Amino acid sequence: MKHIAILGHGVVGTGCARMLTENRERISALVGEDVSLKYILDIRDLPDSPWADRIVHDFAVILNDPEVSVIAEVIGGAHPAFDFAAAALKAGKHVVTSNKECVSRFGAELTGMAAANGVTYRFEASCGGGIPLIRPILSDLAANRIDGIDGILNGTTNYILTRMCRDGSSFEAALAEAQQKGYAERDPSADVEGIDARRKINILCGCATGVLHNDEDIPTEGIAAVRTADVTAAGLAGYAVKLLGRMTGGFLLVAPHLIPFDCPLSHTDGVFNAALLHGNFVGDVMLYGRGAGADATASAVVGDMVAALRGDSGCVTFAHGAALPDFGAFTCPRYLSVGAEDAAALLALVPGAKTIEPPVGEFACITPPLSEDAVRVLRQKVSLRAALRVREA
Ligand SMILES: NC(=O)c1ccc[n+]([C@@H]2O[C@H](COP(=O)([O-])OP(=O)(O)OC[C@H]3O[C@@H](n4cnc5c(N)ncnc54)[C@H](OP(=O)(O)O)[C@@H]3O)[C@@H](O)[C@H]2O)c1
């Protein structure tokens, strides 16, 4: 018999408990032994839980039980999640998690502790919910040099941008609707400001390169400043606007981008997530699915439990990253919009820009590739109303 514990009886923890219960026979067959959920740790009592008899409030009960070999940390946040995971790894227990904050911040320490103690720290659910993203990078595509990752990694922002694009909703109205439908938190700042996507692109880049960066060093722009008029103009010109986490040409960034309709990422709508990976031999690979939700996320967490119990290989031990390259040199085409009175000045400053149908009373164009530094200089010379990056197909 293999015994498992779940830390946190929230959305993901409940999904995991349900999957372990409903699919117990299948999971046990995969592992080759009966797999049993022994404990759920939570701070609340939860007497109505179907697993009320397994709820404990003291982590030491789980840590000191030699029967527990795998712990799922699905509490979220930095502490005590890190402390519980570290103690479990040091006690020789495998840890699996959906907690991107913990992986992004402490992944180097935690994967190092796992390796030192002969166990594993797995985190498939931390990026893209139920979409297999990490295992493909670490296993199936491992022989490639992964030189590009473009991910729609946050369902809340993708839902908001999809509503703005399809129905002309304002950012505020689309956010309120996302909150009402339970897709956005009451405090949506981590999603809207790109912080959630930043943690995820850091982890995916770490899996591709073995190096995790300090996620606060990753240039990040959220979607709050994206105007419905720009999303509409982009649509008329053949682009969707999406918040992308990107690893490209040595740079890491999170920012809203125009994506041409002939790129499959542009059709990832609503709360769905997707990542387009580029390997130097395989070429483009796109993975698509549900980036959040109890069931989809449980699928990845419980998949990691099975991998840990079976002793599957293909884990990463992260190193701490060196400084990221100077972002001023990052170059891509831009969607620029200015007041109609500034059109001639803008065209004189950006030769080769292609004029598109603008927002009312404005002038808009798609430019040839411009560096971040060049756009900064441009802002000093002309008042830009929008300056969104364009991901080339
Ligand atoms: N929800 C998703 O669809 C999803 C998808 C992918 C990844 N994730 C990640 O998965 C993690 C969990 O998310 P979630 O949505 O399941 O969060 P959640 O619903 O808030 O669940 C967390 C649970 O942990 C409990 N908890 C808080 N502090 C604790 C402590 N010290 N000891 C024991 N239990 C404690 C919470 O209790 P209280 O409610 O009383 O505070 C809550 O029941 C987060 O890192 C999140 O980013 C979530």
Average per-residue pLDDT for the chain: 97
As a whole number of angstroms, the distance between CA 347 and CA 262 comes to: 27
- Among 6, 7, 9, 12, the mutation site with the greatest number of ligand 1 atoms within 8 A of its Cβ is 12
- Residue 277 burial (C-beta neighbours within 10 Å; 0-12, 13-18, 19+): buried
What pLDDT digit, counting tens, does each position of 244-286 carry?
999 999 999 999 999 999 999 999 999 999 999 999 999 999 9
Q: Compute, in degrees rounded to 10, the torsion defined by CA atoms 24, 26, 27, 33.
A: 90
Integer Rg of the chain from CA: 23
- In the prediction, which pLDDT does 393 show? 76
Question: For the chain, which domains are there?
Answer: 2-130+294-320 (3.40.50.720), 148-288 (3.30.360.10), 327-390 (3.30.70)
Residue nearest to atom 27 of ligand 1 (CA): 75
Residue nearest to atom 34 of ligand 1 (CA): 42
- In the prediction, which pLDDT does 185 show? 87
Q: Give the nearest ligand 1 atom to 97 CA.
A: 10
Average of per-residue pLDDT across 206-214 = 97
What pLDDT digit, counting tens, does each position of 161-173 carry?
999 999 999 999 9
As a whole number of angstroms, the distance between CA 290 and CA 272 comes to: 5
Closest CA to 291 of 305, 310, 275, 308: 275
Q: Give the nearest ligand 1 atom to 13 CA.
A: 16
- In the prediction, which pLDDT does 259 show? 98
Closest CA to 172 of 244, 222, 226: 226
- Among 42, 153, 195, the mutation site with the greatest number of ligand 1 atoms within 8 A of its Cβ is 42
Q: How confident is the model at residue 13 (pLDDT cuts 50, 70, 90)?
A: very high
Return the percentage of the chain with pLDDT > 70, whole number. Answer: 100
80 preceded by a cis bond (ω within 30 of 0): yes
- In the prediction, which pLDDT does 309 show? 98
What pLDDT digit, counting tens, does each position of 124-152 carry?
999 999 999 999 999 999 999 999 999 99
- Give the distance (Å) from ligand 1 centre to CA of residue 24: 23
What pLDDT digit, counting tens, does each position of 326-384 carry?
999 999 999 999 999 999 999 999 999 999 999 999 999 999 999 999 999 999 999 99
Whether 28 has a pLDDT exceeding 90, the answer reads: yes
As a whole number of angstroms, the distance between CA 295 and CA 16 comes to: 8
- Give the distance (Å) from ligand 1 centre to CA of residue 44: 12
Burial track 318-352 (b if 16+ CB lie within 10 A, e otherwise): beebeeeeeeeebbbbbbbbbeeebbeebeebbee
- Give the distance (Å) from ligand 1 centre to CA of residue 13: 7
Q: Give the nearest ligand 1 atom to 41 CA.
A: 33
Q: Give the nearest ligand 1 atom to 294 CA.
A: 3
Average of per-residue pLDDT across 189-218 = 97
Whether 186 has a pLDDT exceeding 90, the answer reads: no
As a whole number of angstroms, the distance between CA 341 and CA 37 comes to: 67
Please write down the HEC assignment for all residues of the chain.
CEEEEEECCCHHHHHHHHHHHHCHHHHHHHHCCCEEEEEEECCCCCCCCCCHHHEECCHHHHHCCCCEEEEEECCCCCCCHHHHHHHHHHCCCEEEECCHHHHHHHHHHHHHHHHHCCCCEECHHHCCCCCCCHHHHHHHCCCCCEEEEEEECCHHHHHHHHHHHHHCCCHHHHHHHHHHCCCCCCCCHHHHCCHHHHHHHHHHHHHHHCEECCHHHCCECCCCCCCHHHHHHHHHCCEEEEEEEEEECCEEEEEEEEEECCCHHHHCCCCEEEEEEEECCCEEEEEEEECCCHHHHHHHHHHHHHHHHHCCCCCCCCEECCCCCCHHHCEECEEEEEEHHHHHHHHHHCCCCEEECCCCCEEEEECCCEEHHHHHHHHHHCCEEEEEEECCC
- Give the distance (Å) from ligand 1 centre to CA of residue 77: 8
As a whole number of angstroms, the distance between CA 49 and CA 20 comes to: 15
- Give the distance (Å) from ligand 1 centre to CA of residue 125: 13
As a whole number of angstroms, the distance between CA 102 and CA 82 comes to: 6
Which one is catalytic: 200, 242, 354, 381? Answer: 200
Q: CB of 332 within 8 A of CB of 389?
A: yes
- Give the distance (Å) from ligand 1 centre to CA of residue 73: 9
Reported pTM: 0.98
Q: How confident is the model at residue 7 (pLDDT cuts 50, 70, 90)?
A: very high
Q: How confident is the model at residue 49 (pLDDT cuts 50, 70, 90)?
A: very high
Q: Give the nearest ligand 1 atom to 80 CA.
A: 31
Lining ligand 1 with CB less than 6 A are: 7-13, 41-44, 74-76, 80, 98-100, 125, 129, 292-293, 297
- Among 100, 297, 302, 304, the mutation site with the greatest number of ligand 1 atoms within 8 A of its Cβ is 297
Residue nearest to atom 8 of ligand 1 (CA): 98
Output the six-digit token pair for 60.
Answer: 């030491």
Average of per-residue pLDDT across 185-190 = 92
- Among 11, 16, 82, the mutation site with the greatest number of ligand 1 atoms within 8 A of its Cβ is 11
Q: Give the nearest ligand 1 atom to 8 CA.
A: 24
- Give the distance (Å) from ligand 1 centre to CA of residue 201: 21
> Is 2 labeled as catalytic in the residue annotation?
no
Q: How confident is the model at residue 322 (pLDDT cuts 50, 70, 90)?
A: confident
